[in-house]
């Protein structure tokens, strides 16, 4: 395979430098961007342990060398198959903790908050459909990191303090995440020997071990014992769903992103539809803010009020992402203005593969399966993921999500894989990165580093250096000095039109990039 003009054939950006280098290592060993993405995802689950886990879930967006795109949905599902109705709701009294973040985020934790995790089935599908290597080969860097140790990054060190109450929920959780009488701190060496053994066993025997084998029985047995509702049947019947991504024209190309029932990609698509009607590059700073803030606020308002659960989200998204609806929103903008712990990784290679993965375990349930090192999600305990209420879904239903793995293919931008953590700031962070590259012609790193804004409800937030004229209609103005993780943590890679490979890991979090 020929190198690009800057000598590379592959680029990765991920939540930690360890994960980005794991991707490059697997690519150099004969893999492609799909194999590398699984390696990075597994390494993130080790080195950014409160952001994602094999006890969590996610979405993988893939564009192949022929230009075909597909979404692998391996998001959490509602558990409880085979249980009586009386098992639901944790007797109406699930435990809740307050995270030490800002004014305090309330999170329902414990076994009753755990959804059916899809991570391993998702990785299996990604490798089977697009990869070259075995699961054992792609998990090898993560196994080594978990067994030999790594230094805790700044973002994870901060979240260890924020989630201190969650991390001491059980003795098993404390054993994995505490050093003596406190959580690990930034820069300290961390090892997860039991998780290393689990990942190694999965690599040798396959993911059926987690969904149908001895590990499935251990996971279900412990969750049920602790008051949760994940059954062996839930695990055995879990399958990833292959979906067509949402696609929207943008510039001289297309943007692909997450499709319903998730609402995040549709919200991003709605914003892109609106701003594509403006000549953003020729606007004054004030007009640019009006256009971008208006698109953000209206789309996020619709995200809050229009989307629910299930099949109806596809019909809602079709209406809200139409050009006709975008035109009406532009009219409103002109008239008006005159998680969650999550991790994202991106990979692209010279063959033409682009892979974008966003993964999450909620804020964490405080549950670690004994003897396995597997921390479990608390997706059922996050209100924004369960608009109908706690345990209100039918067993097997997918939860709603804001995660928006995205790929851009355009003459101006080349092939870009991009995404971000950050709850409602996910689509606004991705939107601004795409606009910076496609509309303003910025190199990828500059596009990610550029100061950001966020508009939602009556709130207008901005980083120092962002174009700022107080827009009308916003009662709360929230300035941030310098770059802040409030505005997400974009990890993006690009195969540029001139053949260069670029990677940018957002300094708002502790990301890293790597090339091969």
In 288-353, DSSP assigns E strands to: 341-349
Which conformational region is residue 146 in: left (phi greater than 0), alpha (psi within -120 to 50 degrees), or beta? alpha
pTM of the model: 0.94
Among 79-88, 191-200, 386-395, top mean pLDDT goes to 191-200
Q: Calculate mean pLDDT across residues 316-323.
A: 89
Q: How far is the CA of 75 from the CAs of 1, 239, 241, 249, 396, in angstroms?
A: 35, 10, 9, 26, 11
Q: What is the predicted pLDDT for the residue at 311?
A: 63
- Work out the number of other CB atoms within 10 angstroms of the CB of residue 510: 22
pLDDT of residue 330: 81
Q: What is the mean pLDDT of residues 3-18?
A: 86
pLDDT of residue 339: 45
Task: Give CA angle at 385 (419, 455), nearest 5°.
Answer: 55
Q: Are 246 and 71 in contact (CB under 8 A)?
A: no
Per-residue pLDDT at 280: 92
**φ, ψ dihedrals at 421, nearest 5°:** -85, 175
Please report, for residues 197, 205, 256, the alpha-carbon distance to residue 221 in angstroms, rounded to integers and kept in the order given.
Answer: 20, 21, 40
Please tell me what DSSP assigns to residue 55: B
Q: Look up residue 224 and give its two tokens.
A: 């049920």
- Sheet strands (E) in 86-132: 96-99, 105-108
Instruction: Give the model's pLDDT for residue 307.
Output: 81
- DSSP helix/strand/coil, 238: coil
At 114 the pLDDT is 96
- Give residue limits of the domains in the chain: 28-242+352-385, 245-342+403-510
Q: What is the CATH topology of the domain spanning 245-342+403-510?
A: Serum Albumin; Chain A, Domain 1 (1.10.246)
pLDDT of 105 > 70? The answer is no
Q: With 70 as the cut, is the pLDDT of residue 348 above it?
A: yes
Position 285 pLDDT exceeds 70: yes
The per-residue pLDDT for 338 is 34
Contact (CB, 8 A) for 267 and 455: no
* Beta-carbon contacts of residue 227 (< 8 Å; ≥ 6 apart): 90, 91, 110, 111, 112
Helices vs. strands in the chain: H and E counts, helices first: 17, 24
Please state, rounded to an integer, the average pLDDT across all residues of the chain: 91
Cis peptide upstream of residue 236 (ω within 30 degrees of 0): no
CA angle 398, 35, 134 (to 5 degrees): 95
Residue predicted with more confidence, 39 or 466:
39
CB 115 within 8 A of CB 78: yes
**How many Å apart are CA 26 and CA 347, to the nearest integer?**
12
Q: Please say whether the dihedral angle defined by the alpha carbons of residues 377, 234, 38 and 303, taken in this order, is positive or negative.
A: negative
Does residue 91 register a pLDDT over 70?
no
Dump strand ranges (E) for 383-500: 406-410, 414-419, 453-456, 459-463, 476-480, 491-495
Q: Tell me, what DSSP letter sits at residue 30?
A: T
Pairwise CA distance, residues 230 & 116, whole Å? 7
Give the span between the Cα atoms of 249 and 278, in whole angstroms: 14
């Amino acid at each position: 395979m020929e190198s690009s003009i800057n000598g590379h054939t592959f680029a990765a950006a991920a939540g930690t430098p360890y994960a980005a280098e794991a991707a490059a290592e697997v690519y150099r060993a004969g893999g492609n961007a799909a194999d590398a993405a699984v390696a990075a995802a597994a390494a993130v689950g080790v080195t950014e342990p409160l952001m994602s886990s094999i006890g969590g879930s996610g979405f993988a967006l893939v564009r192949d060398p022929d230009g075909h795109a597909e979404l692998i949905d391996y998001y959490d599902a509602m558990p409880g198959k085979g249980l009586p109705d009386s098992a639901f709701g944790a007797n109406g009294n699930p435990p809740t903790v307050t995270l030490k973040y800002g004014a305090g985020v309330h999170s329902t934790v414990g076994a009753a908050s755990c959804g059916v995790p899809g991570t391993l089935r998702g990785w299996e599908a990604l490798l089977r459909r697009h990869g070259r290597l075995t699961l054992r080969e792609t998990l090898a860097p993560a196994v080594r990191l978990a067994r030999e140790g790594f230094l805790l990054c700044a973002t994870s060190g901060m979240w260890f303090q924020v989630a201190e109450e969650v991390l001491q929920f059980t003795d098993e959780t404390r054993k994995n995440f505490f050093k003596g009488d406190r959580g690990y701190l930034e820069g300290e060496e961390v090892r997860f020997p039991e998780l290393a053994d689990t990942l190694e066993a999965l690599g040798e025997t396959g993911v059926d071990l987690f969904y149908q084998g001895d590990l499935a029985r251990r996971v279900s047995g412990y969750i049920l014992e602790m008051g949760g509702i994940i059954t062996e049947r839930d695990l055995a019947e879990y399958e990833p769903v292959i979906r067509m991504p949402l696609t929207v024209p943008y510039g001289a190309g297309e943007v692909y992103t997450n499709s319903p029932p998730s609402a995040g990609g549709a919200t991003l698509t709605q914003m892109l539809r609106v701003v594509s009607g403006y000549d953003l590059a020729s606007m004054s700073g004030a007009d640019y803010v009006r256009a971008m803030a208006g698109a953000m606020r209206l789309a996020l308002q619709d995200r809050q009020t229009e989307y629910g659960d299930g099949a109806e989200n596809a019909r809602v998204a079709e209406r809200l992402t139409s050009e006709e609806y975008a035109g009406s929103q532009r009219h409103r903008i002109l008239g008006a203005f005159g998680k969650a712990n999550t991790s994202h990784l991106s990979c692209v290679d010279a063959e033409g593969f682009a892979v974008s993965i966003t993964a999450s375990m909620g804020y964490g349930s405080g549950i670690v399966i004994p003897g396995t090192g597997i921390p479990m999600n608390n997706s059922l305990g996050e209100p924004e993921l369960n608009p109908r209420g706690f345990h209100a879904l039918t067993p097997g239903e997918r939860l709603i999500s804001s995660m928006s793995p995205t790929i851009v293919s355009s003459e101006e931008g080349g092939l870009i894989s991009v995404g971000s953590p950050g709850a409602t700031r996910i689509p606004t962070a991705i939107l601004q990165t795409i606009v910076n590259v496609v509309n303003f012609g910025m190199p990828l790193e500059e596009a990610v580093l550029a100061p950001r804004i966020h508009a939602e409800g009556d709130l207008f937030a901005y980083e120092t250096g962002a174009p700022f004229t107080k827009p009308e209609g916003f009662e709360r103005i929230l300035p941030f000095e310098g770059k802040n993780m409030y505005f997400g943590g974009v990890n993006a890679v690009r195969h540029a039109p001139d053949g260069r490979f670029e990677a940018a890991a957002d300094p708002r979090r502790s990301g890293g990039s790597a090339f091969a």
